[in-house]
Structure 1
């Protein structure tokens, strides 16, 4: 081992991003590596008054760190994998995918669910969540919500909104919800208390909502020519999570969704049958149209599972729907 080399970990400076960076740092330190965390601000954290898709770039949360890595300021970057574009910049490679956390989306509300039956306003910055919510609750209104987790909780607390949708993994990592055991990850559960200093509300697991591709997974990227760092990081890789997220991101890439189209995808390995189970969906932005697919394949057929499912959706109306989505986002 090169005992002189310190692995510089690049991260955004939000609370959640720093939690992720410190998690990777501890794992590397436990393996005997020296590390240093370098936090940088990304445009995605600074520009909070516009929805992500209006900013016109995919990878808004990763771009700043990509530049820092290419400039030699950091050796690795730690990301929520769902924020990472399917095509990495030239020279940068995926070094490890850590074991996945909870994949669910969570509805956070003020304690009473009567609003589900009537007219309500739900907040989210995600087109995927917006489309799926409107598909299920067409009478509701969805408004944009941006910022880090605690900022969004505070905005919900101060608003007259009925609720807001968050990723379960983010809430668990910040200690705002009960953290399930690995076997319970991705399984729905009853109502639970949200322990945010900004908002003392209630959470409901949305087991009907298909998560974003790679939701709940953390990825570490590094320079492709940095053998020392690649060797170190490879020891953190979880093969099952790597394969499942590969399938989901292949589905996303084939649909050409970037980070903007309402696309959900979830792959799971079923140990009992030695199969991969996949569920994916493409929706119109208003939620009125939904193209969904479910497939189970033997374990040896995983490599083209995401591609095949996306191709089927494209052939059955998805190509036309993607054109409509892209045109509407240009306006």
Structure 2
């Protein structure tokens, strides 16, 4: 393909790292590329929690518009930010090999864990799971890109803040003493990068499909199917992790109350060749075990906090 593939990206350090990674991989395959940075609403409006903005995929929307207007040929996203329903005419072309899926705590000393303390996160999922484990703690809202969140942690009197390990590793900002939260279930598709393009742009779709990592594609598919069936989007504390070992897919999923007081969890396994619909069946199990009622309560609480 001789045409230049225009790669759309947000202009944060992490987003640029991701886009450059894709650029290098495409160029190694012989394609010509150019990076096109775009500012997203999610990066601009920092005084409101995501769920109050009533937008799914706030970090991806600006790039979606640029894609549909054909100002860019592909968009590179952190897959966990991407709504489970892609815009009309936009398709997934590749899921790159997934990085570490864990969350970590960046902290100023861990003595507070057994006492009272304040930690920061903009994620309902992290907040709910944290409060389930540490009910005495206070959780405050923290928004912005990785760099600005780290600065806010330094400037405030919080004891720590929760981040995705992969994000900090990618831009070499992972503190040596960061605490690995291996008990916290990650966001569906955490640690994975997604490339999307216009379906009609067949040459670009084909070029990018060479970068697809099949196992990462399957595990993120299962997790996102779980999320979509629970009607999560950005608005509910939903964690999910699928892993493939010896041709078997192992899945863990959870739905928590906003304050962490109750949760419904599921742990299942299924043969890799029967993976179709696995995420959906795990979600139905959660809904039938009290998850439906919990989802209704979460929606009511969020609606009341917005109005």
Q: TM-score range by the shorter chain?
A: over 0.9
Partner of 2:193: 218
Deviation at 1:114, TM superposition (A): 1.2
Q: Is 1:124 aligned to residue 121 of structure 2?
A: yes
Whether 1:154 aligns to 2:154 is no
What's the counterpart of residue 92 of structure 1?
90
Counterpart residue number, 2:245: 270
Counterparts of 1:44-193 in structure 2 under 5 Å?
Answer: 44-110=42-108, 112-177=109-174, 193=176
SS of alignment partner, residue 54 of structure 1: helix
User: Does residue 309 of structure 1 match 2:282?
Assistant: yes
Determine the C-alpha separation between the residues in 2 that align with 1:84 and 1:313: 23
Q: From 237, 260, 273, give the equivalent of 1:300.
A: 273
1:200-242 deviations in Å (ceiling 9; x for gaps): xx30100000000000000000000111101100000000000
Q: Distance in 1 between matches of 2:68 and 2:277?
A: 31
Gaps of 5+ in 2: none
- Structure 2 Cα separation of the partners of residues 303 and 119 of structure 1: 44
User: 1:260 and 1:215 mapped to 2: Cα distance?
Assistant: 16
Counterparts of 1:240-255 in structure 2, within 5 Å, are 240-255=215-230
Q: Does 1:18 align with 2:16?
A: yes
Secondary structure, counterpart of 1:57 in structure 2:
coil
Shift of 1:132: 0.1
**Per-residue Cα deviation, 1:138-182 (whole angstroms, up to 9, x for no partner):** 0100000011111111111111101000000000000123xxxxx
CA distance, structure 2, for counterparts of residue 8 and residue 153 of structure 1: 31
**Residue 292 (structure 2) aligned to one of 302, 314, 319:** 319
TM-score by length of 2: 0.98
Deviations 1:223-266 (A, max 9, x none): 00111101100000000000000000000000001111000000
> Partner of 2:163: helix, strand, or coil?
strand
C-alpha deviation, 1:133, in angstroms: 0.1
Matched, 1:204 2:201: no
Deviation at 1:25, TM superposition (A): 0.3
Asked whether 1:291 is paired with 2:264, we answer: yes
**What do the CA deviations read for 1:103-133 (whole angstroms, capped 9, x no partner)?**
00000001x2110111100100000000000
Provide the residue aligned with 2:31 in structure 1: 33
Match of 2:210 in 1: 235
Residues of 2 paired with 1:115 and 1:302: CA distance? 42
